[in-house]
Each structure stands twice: as C-alpha cells, then as structure tokens.
Structure 1
Amino acid sequence: MIEQDEVGGVSAARSNRPTAVIFDVGRVLYDWDPRILYRRLIADDRALDAFVRDVVTTEWHFQHDAGRDFADTSAELIALHPQHRDLIAAWGPRFNDSIGDPIPGMHELVAELDSAGVPLFAITNFSHEFWPPFRAREAALFDRFRDVVVSGTEKLVKPDPAIYRLALARFGLEPAQAVFIDDNLANIDAAAAMSIHALHFTDVASLRPRLRDLGLVA
C-alpha cells in the first residue's frame, strides 16, 4: 500500500511538471535595440541618443505592438518632428535592421528542446506589419515553433492577461503545462499570476539549470 502511494505521488508530481515552453522573442531569442538601425544613419552619438530618446520613443513604438499601422504612427510623428522625416520614415521598411544578433546560446537551446520533442511556442509584442518579413528571414529558427501569438495581430499586448489566455487556448495548454520565458518582469509577473511557470530571462547560463529542474532539458 505504501508503495502504491509512493508511486502515485511520483506520478502526480510528474504530471504537474510543465511539458511545453513559450518564449518571448526580442531580447530573449534576438537582441533588439533601435540604436542598431539608427547608428547606421546618425553619425553623431549625442544626436543618436537624443533621437532615440525623444523621437522614436518606446511609447511611440508600443503602438505598433498594439496593432496600429506604421503609416499612421509615422505620419503623426513626422508632423511633430518634420526635421526628422527621413529618419522616422526609415523605421518601418528597415525595422529588421533594428534586430541584432541571436542571444548567445538561445538558438542552440531551442534546437535542443525541439530535438527532445518539447512543444515550442512564442508570445511576442511585435507589429503585425513587421513580423512577417522577420519571420520569413528567420525561418530556420521559427519553423521549430508550433505557433506564435503576435500582439499586433491580436491587438493585445503583454502584460495584459488576455494575451496569455488567448495563447494558452490556441496552444492547447493549461497554465501548469507551460513554461514562459521573458526578459520583462512585468510580463513575467502577469504570467505567474495565471499559474504559468514564469522564468525571468537574463542569460542562457542561468536559464538552463531552471529548465533542467523542470525536467525539460537533460
């Protein structure tokens, strides 16, 4: 009887372990920074800092993640900063140039998880216009993913709980079955509040042992 209880306990513990991994994209799988693009267009460092800080701000770009069209947001911003018309206009067609190198070790980790049969998904705050060309460029990585929820397409952005509910339903996962990895603490807190296993990302060296503890990597 004791043996049966112990076996049952082990089975229950294993059943509560997550079985799938949901990744963020920017600053988890790839570096992203507007300076990567604009350092090619603005030679002076002080002018570059001012332009990124005061013109193409995080708040302005967040509108794209929320589903607004670049044609609309750029027209509004050019009206405010007509002297920067050409630089602002470059944001949309050259957005891929703001995405830098793969985060060290992360593409290898994705490949390892995929080879082990772990279902892979993503939830990304990303423009509905900018995502398709980026996805096409990085097909070698994203072909390993079963599905990706893109905020600009859904008009829902992290950390809104609605985007996590949508993703779990689409991915066919219960919260306890999912590990969510993101560099943004607000996004991590929102996922954790829904009983998702939420891991704050800093680097692959600290992430790997946490995935190992969850039974997802060897």
Structure 2
Amino acid sequence: MINTIIFDLGAVLIDWNPQYLYRKIFNDEQEMQTFLSTICTPDWNEEQDGGRSLKDGTDYLVTKFPDQAENIRAFYGRWEEMLGGAIEETVEIFRQLKDSGKYKIYALTNWSAETFTIAQAKYDFLGWFDGIVVSGTERTRKPFPEFYQILLDRYNVKPEEALFIDDNQRNVTAAEALGINAVHFTSAADLAKELDARNLL
C-alpha cells in the first residue's frame, strides 16, 4: 500500500530551462543550442547539482572556453532568469495529495545547494513537503542509489510503500531498481490518470 509520494522538482513542479535565459543572449537559435549542448551542458550542470561549487564549475569552463567566458558566467550569474514559474497543474495534484492527509510527501531533487535557496524563496509550495533531499547538500545525486537511500533512511520510508515521480526515465529506472514504485512524468494530465489508476488521487 502506497503511503509516501516522492516528487522530483525540475520539469515536474518547477519549469526550469536554460533556454529562457540564453534566448536573451543569443540572437541565433542554432548558436544557442550549440552552446548549451557543447559548453554549458546538462552533464556539466549536474556536477554542480552533485555538490561542486558554482564558482569551481564556472571557472572550469571559463578556462576551457575563454572566448565564451561572459556567456558561461551568465549561467549562474543570471540563473534566476531560467525559472519559468511553477507548473500549476502538477502543483494542484500535489495540493490534492497533501489535502487528502493520506500520504507523507517528499522531494528528491538534483539541484545545487547554492541556487536552491532562490527556489525556496520563490515557490511557496516547497514549504508543503514533509522533507526535501537536495543533491547539492548531500553531494550525490540521481541516479546514484545512495541518493535515494538517503531519503529512505532519513524519513523511514519503505521502498515498496513509496511512489516516485520524475521526468527523467534514467532516474525512474534507478528508483525501480531499489524497489520503489515509480512513474515517468510526461504531463500533469497523464500523472493524474496514473494516480487515479492506482487509486491514489
């Protein structure tokens, strides 16, 4: 029986996308895409999510690509401009689950500890969680099993009694390998259908 819901945050409850910033910086869409796929890449950003300081991550790339220094420094210097707002339809699902009183609800997020405080100040619903485990604070991240285990151990969650929701199939697969029930998030509408089918909503 499911008594615990574990949400991912980015692209599930919070709309975060570097393109929101870099479309202001680059006039050419292809140049922007090339920059984000070869310089400020998702893999590079995940290193900061996993605990590397923003300064060290930025300095590493500036040394490697000095001609792109200004654009690289904008990534964290103007990070808040990458936030597109709450994904309200999913927040409403969260509200319904919370109001039901049936579940403990946690967040397990790949997020830099240095930027997470900005999100906490911006999104009131982050205060609804019974607990949040942030990769940058723990210095490990999804999909590494030890990151999931931190949440399970800290909040005494049994894997078979939890449902994990994430937009990245890699992270869903990792959760399932630990015995956690998991849903690959594609849209709020599909999530609502999945929760209904499981008699959770």
Shared fold (TM-score greater than 0.5)?
A: yes
Q: Does 2:49 correspond to 1:38?
A: no
Q: Which residue of 1 aligns with 2:187?
A: 203
Deviations along 1:71-103, one digit per CA (max 9) or x if unpaired, are 111111111111221211111132222122333
Q: Which has the higher helix share?
A: 2
CA distance in 2, matches of 1:42, 1:210: 39
Q: CA deviation at 1:201?
A: 0.7
The SS at the match of 2:77 is coil
The SS at the match of 2:183 is strand
Q: Scaled by the length of structure 2, what TM-score is found?
A: 0.94
The AA in structure 1 aligned to 2:108 is I
The AA in structure 2 aligned to 1:70 is L
Q: Does 2:85 correspond to 1:123?
A: no
Q: CA deviation at 1:172?
A: 2.0
Q: CA deviation at 1:38?
A: 0.9
The AA in structure 2 aligned to 1:119 is K
Q: Greater Rg, structure 1 or structure 2?
A: 1
Q: Does 2:141 correspond to 1:157?
A: yes
The SS at the match of 2:141 is coil
Aligned residue-pair number: 200
Return 174-183 or 202-211, whichever deviates more: 202-211
Alignment equivalent of 1:132, drawn from 117, 120, 125? 117
CA distance in 2, matches of 1:135, 1:43: 32
Unaligned 5+ segments in structure 2 are: none
Q: CA deviation at 1:51?
A: 1.4
Alignment equivalent of 2:69, drawn from 85, 95, 98? 85
Indicate conservation of the 8 Å contact 1:156/1:163, yes or no: yes
Q: CA deviation at 1:104?
A: 5.0
The AA in structure 2 aligned to 1:129 is E
Q: Name the Cα RMSD after superposition.
A: 1.4
CA distance in 1, matches of 2:192, 2:113: 31
Deviations along 1:107-152, one digit per CA (max 9) or x if unpaired, are 11111111111321110011111111111111x1111111111111
Unaligned 5+ segments in structure 1 are: 1-16
Indicate conservation of the 8 Å contact 1:18/1:214, yes or no: no
Q: Does 2:198 correspond to 1:214?
A: yes
Q: Which residue of 1 aligns with 2:177?
A: 193
The AA in structure 2 aligned to 1:155 is R
Q: Scaled by the length of structure 1, what TM-score is found?
A: 0.87
Return 93-102 or 201-210, whichever deviates more: 93-102
